Amino acid sequence: MEAFPVNHVKSDRILLLGDHYHRVLQKLGYEISELPESLFFTFCGDLLGSSGEHYQKGKELNFFEAIERASLLFSDDFMESLAMYLMRAEKINPDLEGLLAAKDIFFDEIASHFETLSETYSPWFGSIRNAATPDEFYNVTSQHASCGAAMRAAVTGALGLSDEQAFKLFAITHLHPEAIEGGFWVKGYAEAAGKSASFEDCLKEASIRSSVGLSLLKDFLGQQTLPPVPEDYTPLNTIIDHVLDACDPYASITDIQEEGIETRYVVGAAAHILASVHDNAQTGVTIPKIVTDSLRIGGDPDTICSITTSLYGLQWPKESKAFMDQTRIGTYDKNTPE
């Protein structure tokens, strides 16, 4: 039997998401008490957004259809976030050699899952894993604009890691300015959400931290005598402001088949959803909306859902945990009112 079987709907079976998380952690060798609650929110968002297609626009589903079709498998969203927690105290030298060594530790942490479900990871990850010299490492990570840093950033914010610590943890797979900015945008939002700040205040903190992340990257590139960030680079904050002003999650890209997992698209889509749900503690309404909006938007629905669910869960932890603990996955009871 597979450790994490793909979900096949069984109408006579009720599987609670909280119970499933507990069993998954046991198989991984952890107890719930050993891990931060933010990882539970990431796990739930990862699974609940799992039924949508990548690199294309999504479609309308109601919440019961979404949870019926959801997979019991977790993807890179949860596994990479777990690795960030495990590496939180890692001593990483702030140079290419140090990042290269830390990259190998990161891939050791995710090795079993990556080798089993490599299709759920960034298409760049094979090249990053195989990079053996500082030059090879820089050449691939400097082009890696996908949303991996952002997907695992909520846990860094929830843990209160310093900006310098977070930068090194993001930089073990991403040295592209868009990816670094996206990681810091989510980190800043997570820090503010954990203090029960309003959406507007979370957005301000996310914007501030995004700019800090870009500055840290520029400093790092300068210290390593590497090519600087292009002068015509459009900051991520400008792109997210455009998405929010237009009320359009696709406003950040021109071709979803080419750009559907890029940081500007995924973080922009998460911000678009958060703008409509953040200040609402009615989780029985709000979490289903996060899930169905993520699936409707598409492109990278499990990551959009995991980021948004993580950030919303940090804002409303008690309510979110109670709702998701009791959410049934793999069943569709038509007698339950929508």
Q: What is the DSSP track for 259-293?
A: HTTBHHHHHHHHHHHHHHHTT---HHHHHHHHHHH
Q: Are 103 and 137 contacting, i.e. CB atoms less than 8 angstroms apart?
A: yes
> For position 337, what pLDDT does the model report?
36
85-100: buried (b, 16+ CB within 10 Å) or exposed (e) per residue? bbbbebebeeebebbb
> For position 295, what pLDDT does the model report?
97
Tokens 């310098």: give the residue.
164
> For position 249, what pLDDT does the model report?
97
> For position 282, what pLDDT does the model report?
86
Residue type (1 letter), 272: H
> For position 140, what pLDDT does the model report?
97
Q: Which residues, 6+ apart, have CB-to-CB distance to 141 below 8 Å? A: 99, 128, 131, 171, 173, 174, 175, 176
Residue type (1 letter), 301: P
User: Cα separation of 198 and 188, whole Å?
Assistant: 13
Measured CA distances, 35 to 43, 72, 118, 169, 206 (Å)? 12, 20, 24, 18, 24
| Token pair belonging to 318 | 């008690």
107-144: buried (b, 16+ CB within 10 Å) or exposed (e) per residue? bebbeebbeebeebbbebbebbbebeeeeebbebbbeb
* Domains of the chain with CATH codes: 34-329 (1.10.4080.10)
Q: Characterise 7 by phi-psi region: left (phi > 0), alpha (psi -120 to 50), beta (else).
A: beta
Residue from 135, 151, 132 nearest 79 by CA: 151
Q: Are 140 and 124 contacting, i.e. CB atoms less than 8 angstroms apart?
A: yes
> For position 6, what pLDDT does the model report?
42
Residue from 44, 42, 43, 61 nearest 53 by CA: 61
Predicted TM-score (pTM) of the model is 0.94
Per-residue pLDDT tens listing for the chain (338 residues): 233 334 444 444 568 999 999 999 999 999 999 999 999 999 999 999 998 999 999 999 999 889 888 888 899 999 999 999 999 999 999 999 999 999 999 999 999 999 998 989 999 999 999 999 999 999 999 999 999 999 999 999 999 999 999 999 999 999 999 999 999 999 999 999 999 999 999 999 999 999 999 999 999 999 999 999 999 999 999 999 999 999 999 999 999 999 999 999 999 999 999 999 998 888 889 999 999 999 999 999 999 999 999 999 999 999 999 999 999 887 544 444 33
> For position 336, what pLDDT does the model report?
40
> For position 3, what pLDDT does the model report?
35
Q: Which residues, 6+ apart, have CB-to-CB distance to 21 below 8 Å? A: 32, 40, 43, 44
For residue 266, with 0-12 CB atoms within 10 Å meaning exposed, 13-18 middle and 19 or more buried, which class applies?
buried
Q: Are 21 and 27 contacting, i.e. CB atoms less than 8 angstroms apart?
A: no
CA 259 to chain CA centroid, Å, is 16
